[in-house]
Amino acid sequence: MYKLWSKSTVVGIKFLIRSTTIVTLLMTGLSGATPVATGQSDDPGPANIAFHAEPSRIRDSNVFKALQIDQQLDPMSKLMWQAASMKGVVALPDSMDAFLEVGPGDPPPFDFQVEFEFKTDKLVESVKEQLSQISAEVEEEGDVTYYYLPGAEGFFMAVTKDRKMVFSSETFPLEPGKFPKMTSAAESLLKQTAKSPAGAAIDIKSSAPLIDSVVEFGRDNFPPPVKAYLDLPEKLNSVRADLTLVPQTEVKAVIDCVDEEAAKVVLETVDGLVAMGKLSMNGNDPDSQIQKKLLAGIKTKSEGKQVLVTMLISPEVFAKMREQAVEVQEMNNVKQVALSMHNYYEANRRFPFQPGPGESDELSWRVRVLPYLDQSALYEQFDLSQGWDSEANRTLSEVVVPVFGDGKGKGLQWVQSDVQDFTDLTDGSSNTIAFIYNAHVGNWAENKPFTSEDAVNMFKALKPGEKMIIGRYDGSVQRIDNTMKLETFEALLTPAGGEVIND
């Protein structure tokens, strides 16, 4: 329903709520109640999940900067990270049927409200401007502006005169100065995390009907390894967690159990899961290395009927996460450009790599795919008949388009060939490299050739452990290193070489 790269604000909030709910279902549960309702209710009860955060405080932290999160956000998301505070609640349905029955375009199967508060009117005006651009309908009602997104039934967004932006299901009406009621347990638990940059609380007791239906469903449908844990939920009362940024980054969770004996069982279970996780992390790939470090930083203990779980996230882990985040973003860039190539082909029946009638051969193919990368406004300002450094185009060529690279000379290159359409790829689109990332680019709008010989030299220069990201004509993206045979790499560069590829 939404494109992650262009409307990530709404998707991000929905993902947060859905993720919180999924965690609840996996971590908690009680039995003994009969399901009575599904989905959003006309009169939702008190929320049993609550969370809060200080986005601007987290944004200014070393954690945020180390992960380079800011570079991966769209304009609306950047504004939300400038909020002084955020708080939200979720009222879960009474049956798992609510989740099983929800279809594309249906309202979320739970009631929720999330509120962001900003410090300045300037930020609020920027928020309203961004919301207006993505909304199908805007309504003024007193001191509140409501925004309704296309194809998004069952919820609304609103901006109030007291510098708040609210994202809510329609079952939680907006009442300025008020917030949806929480269960007393959820409210009490959340207050205990108030001094942290972020915190969350789950009142498991009040979720009894839902969790009972999850357990009932699981006994018939879950695989045996999961069924072994279905008796665990009845031992839990609540879970709260908070984030600490200084002097070190730490996530703390407190699991409140029904009694001390239950706490011992929960502690043994958590320790067993951590041990199993450590044993399963045998690979040397970046994901496994990060997971190993995270698992190594987990400490557990029990105090009375509570189980305390602490995860210390070391600077080394953040460094690896940063490397991985950069690599994932680069691979996503290649994927997006490959998709733009396919969309251009669909519209023009040829690849974008050669200039069309009246188009300058000094202007890069990257300019021609701009409309297929949500960059139509930039594209329409270019004079396609002139070169990238002409008076008409010079200023436009200085605009950084992140999907093409870092704007400092490194980025994505098309491997030059005579290919004009898919019929020229006799070796197969999945056996031919179209793009290479982290090659020398110069100015992205300049038609600077990158040949097969340049690609081979780049491959030969790879040091042990270094990666090269390639994109093939079929749109697939892959990380390779110098363990790939040189002859295989050379074969992938030829669109019609007739080689047999074994990679």
Lowest mean pLDDT among 182-191, 315-324, 431-440: 315-324
CA 176 to chain centroid, in Å, comes to: 31
What's residue 72's pLDDT?
63
pLDDT at 258: 95
Residue 8's pLDDT band, with cuts at 50, 70 and 90, is very low
pLDDT at 440 exceeding the cut of 70: yes
What single-letter DSSP state applies at residue 133?
Answer: H
Residue holding tokens 């969370």? 51
Q: What average pLDDT does this structure show over 140-151?
A: 88
Return the ∠ at Cα 266 (arms to 263 and 269), rounded to 5°: 150
Rounded mean pLDDT, 96-118: 86
**pLDDT tens by residue, 258-290:** 999 999 999 999 999 999 988 887 766 667 778
Does 3 score more than 50 pLDDT?
A: no
Instruction: Examine the pLDDT at 45 and tell me if it is beyond 60.
Output: yes
Reply yes or no on whether the pLDDT at 333 is more than 50.
yes
Nearest to 441 by CA among 413, 403, 400, 416: 413
Q: Which two tokens stand for residue 21?
A: 């709910």
SS3 per-residue string spanning 421-455: CHHHCCCCHHHCEEEEEEEECCCCCECCCCCHHHH
Q: What is the pLDDT of residue 33?
A: 30
**Closest by alpha carbon to 6, among 270, 337, 373?**
373
CA 454 to chain centre: 34
Strands 144-148 and 198-203: unpaired
Residue with the bigger pLDDT between 308 and 324: it is 308
Distant-in-sequence, close-in-space partners of 398: CB < 8 Å, separation ≥ 6: 443
pLDDT score recorded for residue 10 = 38
Model pLDDT, residue 42: 59
Would you list the domain boundaries of the chain? Answer: 8-30+37-202, 320-493
Q: What is the pLDDT of residue 133?
A: 87
At 17 the pLDDT is 37
Residue range 117-126: mean pLDDT, rounded: 95
Q: Which helix (H) or strand (E) holds 199?
A: strand 198-203
Q: What is the pLDDT of residues 379-418, one digit of tens each?
A: 999 999 999 999 999 999 999 898 998 767 778 999 999 9
pLDDT of residue 66 exceeding 50, the answer is yes
Supply 153's token pair.
């039934």
User: CA–CA distance from 417 to each of 254, 326, 355, 369, 452 (Å)?
Assistant: 60, 29, 14, 18, 8
Spatial distance between the Cα atoms of 376 and 368, rounded to a whole number of angstroms = 10
Q: State the CB neighbour count (10 A cutoff) for residue 416.
A: 16
Tokens 């793009």 label which residue? Answer: 435
pLDDT for res 379: 95
272 contact partners, CB below 8 Å, separation of at least 6: none
Q: Indicate whether 331 pLDDT > 50.
A: yes
The confidence band for 324, taking pLDDT boundaries of 50, 70 and 90, is: confident
| Positions of E strands within 111-177 | 111-117, 137-141, 144-148, 155-160, 164-169
What is the predicted pLDDT for the residue at 171? 87
- pLDDT for position 4: 30
3-state SS assignment for residue 197: coil
In terms of DSSP bridges, do strands 198-203 and 49-53 run parallel, antiparallel, or are they unpaired?
Answer: antiparallel
Instruction: Please name the residue that has the structure tokens 């944004």.
Output: 59
pLDDT band at 503 (very low <50, low <70, confident <90, very high): low
pLDDT for 101:
85
Contacts of 441-444 with CB under 8 Å at 24 or more apart are 441/404, 441/405, 441/409, 441/410, 441/411, 441/412, 441/413, 442/409, 443/388, 443/389, 443/397, 443/398, 444/364, 444/366, 444/397, 444/401, 444/404, 444/405, 444/407, 444/411
**What confidence tens digit (pLDDT) does each residue in 201-248 have?**
999 999 889 999 999 999 999 998 888 899 898 999 999 999 998 888
Calpha distance 19→108 (Å, rounded): 12
Angle of helix 208-221 versus helix 8-27 axis, rounded to 10: 80
| Overall average pLDDT of the 465-485 stretch | 92
Q: What is the DSSP string of 223-246?
A: -HHHHTTTTSGGGEEEEEEEEE-S
pLDDT band (50, 70, 90) for residue 30: very low
Q: Report residue 23's pLDDT band, with 50, 70 and 90 as the boundaries.
A: very low
Give yes or no for a contact between 49 and 90, defined as CB atoms under 8 angstroms apart: yes
Report the pLDDT value the prediction gives residue 103, as an integer from 0 to 100: 76
Strands 298-303 and 306-313: antiparallel
Beta-sheet strands, E only, within 362-443 = 410-414, 433-440
What confidence score (pLDDT) does residue 67 get?
67
Go through 347-382 and write b for each residue having 16 or more CB atoms within 10 A of its CB, e for each that does not: eeeebbbebeeebbebbbbbbbbbbbbebeebbeeb
The pLDDT value given to residue 43:
65
Block residue for tokens 């594309």: 104
Q: Tokens for 417?
A: 């060939």
What phi, psi does 474 have (nearest 5°)? -80, 0
H or E, element range at 179: none
pLDDT at 6: 35
pLDDT at 7: 36
Structure tokens at 1: 């329903």
What average pLDDT does the chain have? 85
